[in-house]
Chain A
């Protein structure tokens, strides 16, 4: 198929960016979206132009690196996938596809479609861990039974890949789904209880400091999340913070 692409180009973080149009042809419907981008880049290099910079790594939907806003949706029109898992069969011959970086004041553009998501790391530094040293003498893994239900729920929260689609898609650029998922994972496990109050307070404080917006419960993040992280995690975080503050 033949496609028209409109892509955000921006030289570096201080430059002013703009949408630029490109044409690609003979795209197979079996290609992944990023393979289509590879075709474009090979074409650009051959023409002596600079290729489009975009983040990507594992290309199997787990590293959380890829981050494109395609036709007005984080990771494009399909559900339960990252950009790298989006396939061209979702598009039709002759389509115009708009490709932008994930947008938020807390995610400044580094170049073209590459954004800086280090704010997520800093939130994790604030409390996204359980304080246990590596010793080889921690208690036996089966010493504390954990109900299958709690373990499964913790796993569902822990499955977050930190891609930032929740922030990109939120009309308020709120990071609460991301933070809620981590707070929930530890809140659901006995190992996380000791530091629970400080953890939620510190992580929320850091989230606010980074300049993410407030959640208004539109639920868009849950829909666009490639891993289907549930809004319930935000409710749980709200509860945890209230508990910790009272």
Chain B
């Protein structure tokens, strides 16, 4: 089995497995975000649960961090290996004739998403960790009420940040437009499911990033909510 993950196909499969986890994570993240549009209380409660539940914090969170790091590191490693496999480059190469731009530039859409994640960590995750595990305040309260919703709305004040957020999610959408079906192809999904997966992939890569963008815009446009 260890031999398997050292092979080129094994690496593809590992990329796909981390992608599946990340795609699942995105879905649940979006679901929670959407609640913020309808009910601040519900959003606060779920956020508090996710932020303090030991299973989420000490089992799922490390897996998530690992998946993110793995997906990126492996992505870079493969990109470098593939560049090496190329040898001399073509004087003229018409890649657009046979493949989509997104499929050929996963590394760039991925880099934008990575930059976004760094920003996101600075914005949310590091303060969270700081509050909870350094300061030691596990209450989730600020001035007598849950702080989560409030923090969320505050972050979306800045048009600059919202702009960056929107751009990042467009790139994420492009990344997913190829990545979704690609992950299934890598784990060997059979020809019969191709059409269905393509449809689901298209829907997923449009709807999920769009959902995040709508939530951001909603809070940006309703700052006093």
Q: Do chains A and B touch in the complex (CB under 8 A)?
A: yes
Using a CB–CB cutoff of 8 Å, the interface residues on chain A facing chain B are: 6, 8, 19, 69, 71-73, 77, 98, 100, 103-109, 169, 171-174, 176, 201, 204-205, 207-208, 211-220, 223-224, 230-232, 234-242, 245-246
Give the complex CA separation of A19 and B13 in angstroms: 39
B86-120 CB contact bits vs A (8 Å, 1 = yes)? 11111111110111100110100000000000000
Indicate if the CB atoms of A230 and B9 lie closer than 8 Å: no
Residue numbers in B under 8 Å from A238 (CB-CB): 9, 12-13, 185-188
Complex partner residue of B82 from A98, A109, A171, A246, CB under 8 angstroms: A171
Partner of B8, one of A171, A214, A224, A242: A214
Question: Pick the contact of A242 from B85, B88, B89, B188 — CB < 8 Å?
Answer: B188
Q: Which residues of B contact A208 (CB under 8 A)?
A: 7-8
CB of B191 closer than 8 Å to a CB of A: yes
Contacts A213-B82, A224-B98, A245-B1 given: A235-B191 contact, CB under 8 Å? yes
Interface flags, B158-194, vs A, CB<8A=1, else 0: 0000000000000000000010011001111111001
In this complex, what residue of A is CB-closest to B187? Answer: A238
Contact: A173 with B12, CB < 8 Å?
A: no
> A242 and B78: CB pair below 8 A?
no
Give bound CA distance, A105 to B9, whole Å: 19
Given contacts A98-B91, A215-B12, A242-B187, contact A73 B81 (CB under 8 A): no
Decide yes or no whether B84 CB sits under 8 A from chain A: yes
- Contact present for B188 and A216 (CB under 8 Å): no
Supposing A241-B4, A241-B7 touch, asked if A107 and B87 sit within 8 A by C-beta, the answer is yes
Q: A72-B90, A100-B90 are in contact. Are A245 and B188 (CB under 8 A)?
A: no
Interface flags, B1-32, vs A, CB<8A=1, else 0: 10110011111110000000000000000000
Q: Are B81 and A213 in contact (CB under 8 A)?
A: yes
Contact A231 B185 (CB under 8 A): yes
Report whether B86 and A213 are in contact in the complex, using a CB–CB cutoff of 8 Å: yes
Do residues B185 and A217 form an inter-chain contact, with CB atoms below 8 A? Answer: yes
Q: Are A214 and B11 in contact (CB under 8 A)?
A: yes
**Closest Cβ–Cβ distance, residue A185 to chain B (whole Å):** 15
CA distance A102 to B16 in the complex (A): 29
* Extra pairs beyond A103-B87, A212-B8, A242-B188 (7, CB < 8 Å): A72-B90, A208-B7, A213-B82, A214-B8, A217-B178, A218-B99, A223-B98
Inter-chain contact A216/B8, CB cutoff 8 Å:
no
A101 CB, nearest partner CB in chain B, Å: 9
Q: Which residues of B contact A211 (CB under 8 A)?
A: 84-85
With a 10 A CB-CB cut-off, give which of A104, A238, A242, A246 has the most chain B CB atoms. Answer: A238
A242–B93 CB distance below 8 A: no
Contact (Cβ within 8 A) B8 A204:
yes
A105 in contact with B90 given A205-B7, A231-B185, A241-B4 (CB within 8 Å): no
| B92 contacts across to A, CB distance below 8 A | 71-72, 98, 100
Q: List 10 A-B contacts (CB under 8 A).
A: A72-B90, A98-B92, A105-B85, A176-B8, A212-B85, A214-B11, A217-B186, A218-B178, A220-B95, A235-B190
A243 CA to B188 CA in the complex, in Å? 10
Contact A72 to B97, CB < 8 A, known contacts A212-B85, A214-B78, A215-B8? yes
Q: Are B187 and A103 in contact (CB under 8 A)?
A: no
Q: For the complex, give the distance between the alpha carbons of A236 and B191 in Å.
A: 9
User: What is the bound-complex CA distance between A220 and B106, given in angstroms?
Assistant: 15
Query: Closest approach, in angstroms, between the C-beta of A20 and any C-beta of chain B?
Result: 11
